[in-house]
């Protein structure tokens, strides 16, 4: 509804193709948001960034790309969900399909990597190894679910 806060998805699946029917919208071959200019105004193309003009004060997107943010969710928290959480947790649960008892290795503990750790924890992985060049990231990696932490700049141990 007008005035609602929303998070934007960079990929708007069509909802009707075989992949969408199978519950795999990220594999949609007709996805809106592929490189190009899907919108026009007055016959002139409306350019966009990442299919949703992420760095603009206003943008034009398909309705399916706008996900309403609940009123009780702080916008500072909601801002994190739109990319890192969906990419990291979504990859673990929907693409890799990590299951209880699995082992997971995550290389890099930036925004997406931390959420891969979190997704692995949610999925029930038993061994979750985080690797990063910065040893200062260990505490946060463990908070997100890492059971082990390796510094990638150190020597490899047998």
d(CA 93, CA 103): 14
**Which pLDDT band holds residue 2 (cuts at 50, 70, 90)?**
confident
Tokens of residue 41, six digits: 């105004």
Question: Which domain, by its residues, includes 147?
Answer: 82-158
List CB contacts of 10: < 8 A, sequence separation 6 or more: 33, 50, 51, 52, 54, 65
State whether 36 and 99 are in the same domain: no
- How many structural domains is the chain composed of? 2
Q: Where are the alpha helices (DSSP H) in the chain?
A: 18-21, 75-80, 86-90, 111-123, 138-144
In a domain, 77, yes or no: no
pLDDT digit string (tens) for 125-149?
Answer: 999 999 999 999 999 999 999 999 9
pLDDT digit string (tens) for 38-76?
Answer: 677 888 877 665 555 556 677 777 777 788 899 999 988
In a domain, 145, yes or no: yes
Tokens of residue 66, six digits: 């706008």
């Amino acid at each position: 509804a007008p005035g609602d806060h929303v998070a934007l998805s960079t990929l708007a699946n069509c909802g009707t193709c075989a992949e969408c029917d199978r519950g795999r919208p990220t594999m949609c071959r007709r996805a809106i948001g592929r490189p190009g200019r899907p919108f026009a105004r007055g016959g002139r193309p409306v350019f966009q960034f990442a299919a949703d003009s992420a760095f603009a004060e206003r943008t034009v997107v398909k309705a399916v790309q706008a996900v309403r943010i609940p009123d009780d969710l702080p916008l500072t928290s909601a801002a994190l969900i739109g990319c890192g959480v969906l990419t990291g947790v979504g990859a673990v649960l929907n693409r890799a399909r990590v299951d209880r008892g699995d082992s997971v290795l995550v290389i890099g503990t930036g925004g997406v990597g931390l959420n891969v750790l979190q997704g692995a924890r949610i999925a029930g992985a038993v061994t979750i190894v985080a690797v990063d060049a910065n040893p200062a990231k260990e505490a946060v990696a463990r908070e997100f679910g890492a059971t082990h932490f390796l510094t990638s700049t150190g020597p490899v141990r047998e």
